[in-house]
Structure 1
């Protein structure tokens, strides 16, 4: 781990791509990164959100807000990452573009 080699030994690793414990977080971070660092006591991984009531409520609020808006599909679903050349991504964006992005549905 490059930062450990440069002298940084007190760290908290935050796996922002995962909202729950996952094999990559449990094995790659806990075993490989932290385990092989030689500093298990001073390098830790932040706890995952898993079943946090606050996180679950936030997700429910986002879903409810979307459903209450009457919008079929967010306009953001048609956006691609800058420089994206992945054909599977292009196909999914084309699909969502055909779903009436930003249009409302009849209740």
Structure 2
């Protein structure tokens, strides 16, 4: 969303997957235990090494890159949670008063 365009825009499923692999590296059992046992994982996938997110999102500062990297961790058990992500320093300068409230108004009951 920060770039207003898809980060990994592929023209097919495999093209999109390979675009992800080129930036994040091809997943292995070392970084995501069990990935090679997934139904659609192919041992013949090209083996790309992890690249730099900075090259893909040049307009994000250091905190933005850090948050994005934590969101893009392959292993779901090691990926940042939404709750923790909202406390990330990337959002420190956000004007929280400009956000919509979290209070949901109750609809009054009509007695009859």
**Where on the TM-score scale, by shorter chain, does this alignment land: which range?**
under 0.3
TM-score normalized with structure 1 length: 0.28
Question: RCO higher in 1 or 2 (8 Å CA, sep ≥ 6)?
Answer: 1
Name the structure with the higher helix share.
1
TM-score normalized with structure 2 length: 0.27
